[in-house]
Amino acid sequence: MLLAHLVCAEWRTRRGLVFVLSAIPVSLLIAASWPLLLAWRQPEAFALWRIAAWQPIGDPLANLRYFLATGSWFAFPGWLLAVWAVWALRRRWREPRLFVPVVASLLMLAAAAYWGPPQDVNLIPLLAPLALIAYQGALVLRRGAAGALDWFGVLGFGFFGALVWLGWFAMLTGVPPRVAHNFSKTAPAFSLEFKVLPVLLALALTLGWLYLVFFTTRSPMRSLLRWASGIVLLWGAFAMLWMPWADYQKSYRNVALQLRSKIPVGATCMAHKGLGVSQAAALDYHGGIRGQAFDIVRPNACPLLLVQGSPQHEFDGPGAGWVKLADVGRPGDRSERYRLYRLGR
């Protein structure tokens, strides 16, 4: 925003100066609100966050390669339209509508690559400025390209939307058997219940998408409208029809409750080893299970140890002198296993 006021002539006005002087304090206040509240409510957690937030994770070049590779599907077709917009409007690069989102996208990508970590969730903030550029690219698309983008979206979302409905029908009735078997194989013992409201909502989303496909008039924005509605259809239908199945095999609720039931009464502390941040938060949320990092210098500092490992082996166990109390995991998950150990007396 500051660069735009220096580069873009139409923003170098008195009103622009007033905007900068008012926007910067407001934005800083909003950005600082939750760290200040965290420091007030949980000083220790704030100290840990401050250390973690200012510590770059991973190699910047490796992070950049990851974000570019992931963004190729994560932000499709937005990045494609954005590239076309930059090329088609290259002679008007000093206009704020192009300069601001382009510079913002580049700065955010550079910051994500420098700080890390290489996770697709870190690309979500980049979608906002990228969408502003892509919108301008859609307006200057040639007719053939716009038509191809339009029908590619219609056929793609129509196909995958039909698969969502087919999967729901197979889970509910067992027909077709092969599709139903694939669902039961990843979520053993799962049984889907018919619920009227989710089905009606998914049906409304489907009918709304079909209306936009067959009754929208031709315009430069029609392809974007159909793509956006297709995304809403897929995520909405999945949430309404497949969420019980996904929750059954992906939720940490049963894992947390099983571990909680195995923790001895009066246990003073618990250490954890190899436990991811998301998994630790899920276990705390569902079962109130909190621990501290495993201390390799004092491995016996806590009488309990929770290890996140692999189902194939137990090489990351604590070794001799420890008794295993629990060995649990999520149904259908072949990559995670949670083992609780107690120090032998």
Q: Which amino acid is at 50?
A: R
Q: Which residues contact 310 (CB under 8 A, 6 or more apart)?
A: 316, 335, 336, 337
Q: Would you say residue 109 has pLDDT above 90?
A: yes
Please give the structure tokens belonging to residue 58. 């991973």
- The per-residue pLDDT for 201 is 98
Q: What is the rounded average pLDDT of the residues 313-322?
A: 77
Q: Would you say residue 299 has pLDDT above 80?
A: no
DSSP conformation class of 302: S
Residue that wins the pLDDT comparison between 319 and 235:
235
High-pLDDT (> 70) share of the chain, %: 100
**What φ, ψ does residue 237 adopt, rounded to 5°?**
-65, -40
For 113-135, write each residue's pLDDT tens digit.
Answer: 999 889 888 999 999 999 999 99
For 51-76, write each residue's pLDDT tens digit.
Answer: 878 888 889 999 999 999 999 999 98
Task: Tokens 């436990």: give the residue.
Answer: 275
Residue of 113, 103, 135 whose CA lies nearest to 69: 113
C-alpha span between 171 and 165 (Å, rounded):
10
Q: What is the rounded average pLDDT of the residues 307-316?
A: 82
Sheet holding 292-293, edge to edge: 292-293, 270-273, 304-309, 337-343, 322-328
Range list of H helices, the chain: 2-7, 14-41, 43-53, 60-74, 78-88, 96-115, 127-139, 143-173, 177-186, 196-215, 222-237, 243-250, 253-262, 277-287
Please give the structure tokens belonging to residue 154. 């219609």
Band of residue 345 on the pLDDT scale cut at 50, 70, 90: low
Q: What is the rounded average pLDDT of the residues 242-258?
A: 91
Strands 322-328, 292-293: pairing is: unpaired
Residue that wins the pLDDT comparison between 252 and 51:
252
Q: Residue ranges of the domains in the chain?
A: 1-55, 143-250, 253-343
Q: What is the rounded average pLDDT of the residues 301-325?
A: 84
- The per-residue pLDDT for 223 is 86
3-state secondary structure of 324: strand
Q: 266 in the Ramachandran plot: left (φ > 0), alpha (ψ -120 to 50) or beta?
A: left
C-alpha span between 265 and 241 (Å, rounded):
40
C-alpha span between 219 and 221 (Å, rounded):
5
CA–CA distances in Å: residue 311 to residues 29, 185, 276, 333: 47, 17, 16, 9
What's the predicted TM-score (pTM) here? 0.75
